[in-house]
Amino acid sequence: MKNFVKTFIIIITFLSIATSASAQQKTVQKAVIKTSITCDHYKQCETCGGLLEKTLLKTKGIQMITLNEKEETIEVVYNSKKIDLAAIKTAISKLGYAADDVEADPAGYEKLDGCCKPS
């Protein structure tokens, strides 16, 4: 009987450790996406800077974005349980910008100011 109780306690302990480890899987991810934003006044520009930040930050699951104008990349911090990388790239594309292998949506591109359209 004592061996049964010890074995039972060991099994319960093992299961609780395994359950807590799987619950702590990383859901916050970070991705760097190559884009086509070439605006030299991104911070002041309502079309590319303001629209990009406001729209993407309203997207469920996206927590933070940072644009690197010099390298033409967007760093996105997101919750992978709420949104995936493909959906983020599609959202960027709909705003008129390329996102890695996803080309800019023509309708979104047409809405951009001339300064924000990559050449």
SS3 for 62?
strand
Distances (CA, A) of 41 to 50, 59, 110: 11, 24, 19
- Sequence-separated (6 or more) residues with CB below 8 Å from residue 101: 89
Query: C-alpha 60: how far from its chain's center?
Result: 10
The total of other beta-carbon atoms located within 10 Å of residue 112's CB is 20
Per-residue pLDDT at 69 exceeds 70:
yes
- Sequence-separated (6 or more) residues with CB below 8 Å from residue 44: none
Residue-wise pLDDT tens digits, 80-117: 999 999 999 999 999 888 999 999 999 988 888 777 77
Residue-wise pLDDT tens digits, 42-66: 666 666 667 777 888 899 999 999 8
